[in-house]
Amino acid sequence: MNLVFEPVWNLPLVIVTAVAMIVLVLWTYPSRVAHLPPFWRRSLISLRCAAAAILIMAMFRPSIQIAETDNQISQLNILVDRSQSMSTPDGPGGASRRETLLKLLEETQPQLEELKEEIDIQFLDFDSTVTATQIPENYADGNFTAIGKTIDEIREEAAGERLIGMILMSDGAQRAGGEDDVDPLNAARRFAEQLGVPIHSLVVGTSDVSNSGIDLSIEDLQLDQSVTFEKKTVPVHLQLKMVGAAGKKVKVRLLIEDRNGKREGESGELIEIPLSAEAQSFRDDITTTKNSVTIPLDLFFVAEQAGEYKIAAEVVPDDGEVKLNNNRLETLITVRKGGLKVAYFDIPRTEQKFLRRLNETAKIQIDTQVILAGKFAQKSQIDPAMFKKDQYDVYIIGDVPASVFNESDPKLLGELALRVTEGSGLLMTGGLHNFGAGGYASTPLATLLPVKMAAGDLIPMDVDQPEDHIMSKVQMLPTDSGNDRYLMSLSASQNRAAWEQLPKLGGATKLTPKSGAVEVFAETEDGDALLLASETGRGRSLAMALDETWKWHLHGFEAEHQRFWQQMILWLAHKEFESDKPLWSRVEPRNFSPLSKVPIEFGAQSENGVPIPDANFTVEVLTPSGEKIKVTPQRFADHGLAEFTQTEEPGDYWVLVQGTHQGKSLGLPASTRFVVDARDLEMDNPAADPGMMAEIADISGGSVILPEEFGDFLTRLLEGGIQDDLKRYRRINLWDGWPPLLIFVFLISLEWTIRKIRGLV
């Protein structure tokens, strides 16, 4: 029996704190009770010191450690993999992996029997579950290999047993999904830390399965965008894996869903996409000289009609191919009528170059009108056709004074104001000669822009006024209200931190909200407004004080730069949820592996596209077999989230979202779809993983056993002697429990009572 201390902090700090507490009591308390008789004075000081001593004891966290001897018989667990991959016939003489293990156990039966006289040997069959067995039998029918989960289960069950070791017999490849997909290495680490017992690994099977017959498969399928527009050519990126197909000619093709006559909840037939001048929808000339190879391919198709379609990449099966469920991968694409068209007016500057990169997305097409700079600006000619009704969804004005528009046609800014009130978006960026300095206070845009301007703010083109600008470098940060808004979202969980990582920019235009109705979405570290928003009629307008966000791009934040600009444009066009309906729903990505957790996003918006954060939702998922499963919705910012986990069955899953607000229905349900791939986690790639088995053994302090050396391992284990007794340690905490708490409360209460009686309270 030993007294053990585990201080709450490092020992020197705890000692200093304890001494400080006692010194503080003895220094300050005696003077407060000096007028009392000696008995009461000593009693109060002693009670206060005793209470401090209880706190000091709690800081040192003392406990009594008692060593106990356990004379129970020791136990050795032998885990034998029974998953389907163990039926792979890559053992000696074409034997399966399971047969190889059973033969090995049979050959070492004498050593096992001799060892059983010393310890208890328990055989455990495992796949995604663990089953005790007397003698492992020749079957391998488990759907998944959950090595990590198996180790965790044995650790929990063996907490009170005399386990001295574990032998893991498997091909070593973790093949599980959902809650069963526990990392084997972390599980082995927890096993070793808690039990102090080694895991010895014995691996069977080969990591090269190219000799197991011909197998053609699509390993990966990616679209550049899951949303595109009519008549646009869509590239499809895929990975073709060919095993045992050396010298054969293989055809890969794209298929598209025929939805004629199909309703929501019904899947259409997949048909081949014909070859055209704009698209290459198949390749029939693919060959290889290797027995196992993965080839990246790009195919193309043209999105002809609007709607949501299933797209599939398929490698045409070979006559000698047995496993066909991995020949095809499917995903979904949404085709919309037209894309967002943006008219951009600016002088030649670097921001223009990087903003035009948004043309590479499927959603946005930017037409740039370059305005001459300085004294030549008035010679710029702006095409009046750019301001016709329904011509553009969003207008962006850079460092361009109002006089440039007026010189081309005095009616242009009036037409632009009309387009905004009809529903187009308007963005004005920072610059030297825009907003009030550019003369916009005297134009029809003055009522639309969310900033305060006056006619007296106008300055000549050849004059700069530094006092109208923030000259120091600025960090763009979301405001409290802007942090949860769509156009300021860079990260779902750590949004402000994502903004703080962006580099500072070289100054900004000073902007002031023109009224309390203006929302400020972003500001500097000093609270200066950088992004202001307002809604007028059916349109939205933004004022951004910055003019060089391109520096984010050059400092390695290309994705953040593009996402921010794309979100601003989509928000201005009322397309942040890509739906004009009151209810919306989406799932990204669109296809998943079996047993995946599928995130579902949904929400509601008003006629003007304003989110309805307090709407109530009902979410259902229709499975490929026709079963409807309700999913619990959760609120996140101004929309909702849900997670669907019952994805064992391959095929199409339909999400149906219904909503109400203040007791009233929000209209027709919103629906979307996702695909669970027809994949066999266990058998699509049955290659063994000896590296994983070696790491498990190393982490737990075990050893790697070669199959031919298993008998020698058992002999060495027997000759090394099995420990008859085992020391176990039990601790009794002296600080964590109700007795110290009661003593402390009693001391404080008694002291207070005496002080009360003596008139000190």
Q: Each residue of 140-178: pLDDT tens digit?
A: 989 899 999 999 999 988 765 678 899 999 999 998 887
Q: Assign 576 a pLDDT band (cuts: 50, 70, 90).
A: low
Q: Assign 353 a pLDDT band (cuts: 50, 70, 90).
A: confident
Q: Is residue 292 over pLDDT 90? A: no
Asked if residue 589 has a cis previous peptide bond (ω within 30° of 0), the answer is yes
Q: Which residues contact 420 (CB under 8 A, 6 or more apart)?
A: 395, 426, 448, 536, 537, 539, 541
Distance CA 247, CA 493 (A): 50
Least confidently predicted of 167-171, 274-278, 371-375, 616-620: 274-278
Q: What is the pLDDT of residue 341?
A: 86
Q: Is residue 608 over pLDDT 60? A: no
Q: Average pLDDT over the chain, rounded to whole?
A: 87
User: How crowded is residue 703: how many other Cβ atoms within 10 Å of its Cβ?
Assistant: 18
Q: In terms of Cα–Cα distance, which of 473, 470, 478, 472 is closest to 499?
A: 478
Least confidently predicted of 100-109, 529-538, 602-611: 602-611
For residue 505, what are the β-bridge partners?
A: 474
Asked if 280 and 235 touch (Cβ cutoff 8 Å), the reply is no
Highest mean pLDDT among 366-375, 570-579, 585-594: 585-594
Distance CA 316, CA 481 (A): 53
Q: What is the pLDDT of residue 440?
A: 95
Q: Is residue 71 over pLDDT 60? A: no
Q: Each residue of 79-124: pLDDT tens digit?
A: 999 999 999 888 888 899 999 999 999 999 999 999 888 889 999 9
Q: Is residue 486 over pLDDT 60? A: yes
Question: What percent of the chain has a predicted confidence (pLDDT) above 70?
Answer: 94
User: How crowded is residue 81: how many other Cβ atoms within 10 Å of its Cβ?
Assistant: 27
What is the arithmetic mean of pLDDT over 265-275?
85
How are strands ordered across the β-sheet holding 477-478? 364-370, 340-346, 394-397, 425-428, 539-544, 529-536, 519-523, 477-478
Q: Each residue of 644-661: pLDDT tens digit?
A: 999 989 999 999 999 999
Q: Assign 624 a pLDDT band (cuts: 50, 70, 90).
A: very high
Q: Assign 354 a pLDDT band (cuts: 50, 70, 90).
A: confident
Distance CA 536, CA 169 (A): 70
Highest mean pLDDT among 468-472, 543-547, 736-740: 543-547
Q: Each residue of 711-748: pLDDT tens digit?
A: 999 998 888 765 555 555 567 888 888 888 999 999 99
Q: Quick check: helix, strand or coil at residue 101?
A: helix
Least confidently predicted of 424-438, 601-615, 688-702: 601-615
Highest mean pLDDT among 297-306, 614-623, 749-758: 614-623
Q: Is residue 705 over pLDDT 90? A: yes
Q: What is the pLDDT of residue 69?
A: 58
Write out the H or E segment, with its range, that includes residue 691: helix 690-700
Q: Which residues contact 264 (CB under 8 A, 6 or more apart)?
A: 654, 671
Q: What is the pLDDT of residue 531?
A: 96
